[in-house]
Chain A
């Protein structure tokens, strides 16, 4: 008989250990644990409560045989908590527990349901819960052996609750961090947009230029199949590409004529200055300063400030260069009216492989075509350029022809930079 009892009890103990270690669902783990505890010693009724240190209360997670009237929340006071911590993880018989303040409140409920034992679940000096146990099915009092078993099984259940608490705390902190990160990103994006507006304010003829370049860069990146963060990075690079212009004299930027060589040299410093401004800032997108520095470089090496060739030019700078040039061609300047859409398509096609990376021109045309054919409902080009401008007759076939005519790779692609 003793052997069978041992096998039965230790089977339950082993199953409980496995349950706590492997069960993904917390509620199921607690329900199964209570079954195993009650079943191991044939205890008629019981319940497992989780302790909330914020509310100073025990919330019943699962009960069996305690009835619907049994309180599901038991409030504890400081004295109860002190006593539980002093007692540690050892079953307290009801006769001893009667001195606890909380017991005096719930005495009747315990008596009615014949609760005989109370086990504080104290794990690493913290109360994580309490187990309540009723009478045994054989009507006998709990033996020292029973109390040992209850203590061992309760420890497992306590660890399970402590693990869950830890996970919940980690999840809460991760969520807090996520929200903080989102707030920071929003602040960053708002700051970038504010900067773009500040840059554009300096030049009354190109009002909104940085914002438009940001939007065009975004469209190109989307068409390239970049992920959400990369697309946002391309937009930011576009918004900030002209930040160096903040240091260029206003009369040069706003000159209502073609500027002379000296003024041009002054203006041409803005990419390098922009790079210096943006470099110390920790951007979520690493290439933002590079876009500012190299957005006037050309694939054929005739750009500035460094006269880089094709693959020497950072990819993001190529995107911003195309977006920037497109906006310059499609907006009125003091010395030049904006050009018709068909001319611009021809220009971009002609300069593909010379000034612009062909795959980027292709991506840009695709984005434009998708909007014109209704495949993309965003209407971003229409909003940025005006409906009439975008709906010029013959644009759609022209774009389709252009897409067929652009070589997918640049003829100037460098094989080696040695």
Chain B
């Protein structure tokens, strides 16, 4: 199982690359990495979806975990490079109530 997650952290900002890895149970690693960034003082968490074709229910659940952790840490969450279909899904499910799209 590949558990290498690409994260670029700079100051209070961290960019996490979701890839298709998000849609499996092993995607929990992304959530853990985000929590680690938040624990280290990250105040702006960017999740990049450039390499993500679709997001399934597991992916939504993991993203909700990221949102919850960020809210508890007082950090902003930004979803970037999201495909149009995925934006529709996020809007339909209400995730866009909690994050900014970029």
Contact = CB atoms under 8 A, between A and B. Distances in A.
Interface of A: 1, 4-5, 8, 11-12, 15, 28, 31-32, 34-45, 64-65, 136-140
Contacts of A140: 94
B64 A42 contact: yes
A15 B98 CA distance: 26
Nearest to B56: A11
A416 B34 CA distance: 81
A4 B88 contact: yes
Contacts of A11: 56-57
Contacts of B68: 44-45, 65
Interface in B43-90: 56-62, 64-65, 67-68, 85, 88-89
7 nearest CB pairs, A to B: A138-B94, A39-B57, A42-B93, A39-B60, A39-B61, A12-B57, A137-B94
A29 to B, nearest CB: 10
Considering residues B57, B93, B95, which has the most beta carbons from chain A within 10 angstroms of its beta carbon?
Answer: B57
B97 interface: yes
Considering residues B28, B89, B94, B98, which has the most beta carbons from chain A within 10 angstroms of its beta carbon?
Answer: B94
A137 B95 contact: yes
A35 B62 contact: yes
A109 B85 CA distance: 37
Contacts of A137: 64, 67, 93-95, 97-98
Nearest to A23: B25
B77 to A, nearest CB: 12
A45 B28 CA distance: 15
B92 interface: yes
Q: Is the interface of B mostly helix, strand, loop or mixed?
A: helix
Given A8-B56, A139-B94, 17 more contacts: A8-B89, A12-B56, A28-B25, A31-B25, A32-B25, A35-B62, A36-B58, A38-B57, A38-B60, A39-B56, A39-B58, A39-B59, A42-B64, A43-B64, A44-B64, A136-B94, A137-B93
Contacts of B59: 39
A361 B61 CA distance: 72
A41 to B, nearest CB: 7
A11 B23 CA distance: 12
Contacts of B58: 15, 32, 35-36, 39
A36 B57 contact: yes
B98 to A, nearest CB: 7
B89 to A, nearest CB: 6
B2 to A, nearest CB: 17
B90 to A, nearest CB: 9
A41 B98 CA distance: 15
Given A11-B57, A15-B57, A39-B56, A65 B65 contact: yes
A169 B10 CA distance: 53
B100 to A, nearest CB: 15
11 contacts: A5-B92, A31-B28, A32-B25, A35-B58, A38-B60, A42-B64, A43-B64, A64-B64, A137-B95, A138-B93, A138-B94
A65 B64 CA distance: 9
A43 B65 CA distance: 10
B65 A42 contact: no
Nearest to B28: A31
Nearest to A29: B25
B21 to A, nearest CB: 14
Given A35-B25, A45-B68, A4 B61 contact: no
Contacts of A4: 85, 88-89, 92
Contacts of A39: 56-62, 64
A380 to B, nearest CB: 51
Contacts of A38: 57, 60-61, 64
Contacts of B93: 8, 41-42, 137-138
Contact of B61 (A5, A35, A136, A139): A35
A42 B60 contact: yes
A60 B65 CA distance: 18
A56 B80 CA distance: 48
Contacts of B85: 4
Nearest to B24: A32
B3 to A, nearest CB: 15
A8 B65 CA distance: 19
Contacts of B64: 38-39, 42-44, 64-65, 137
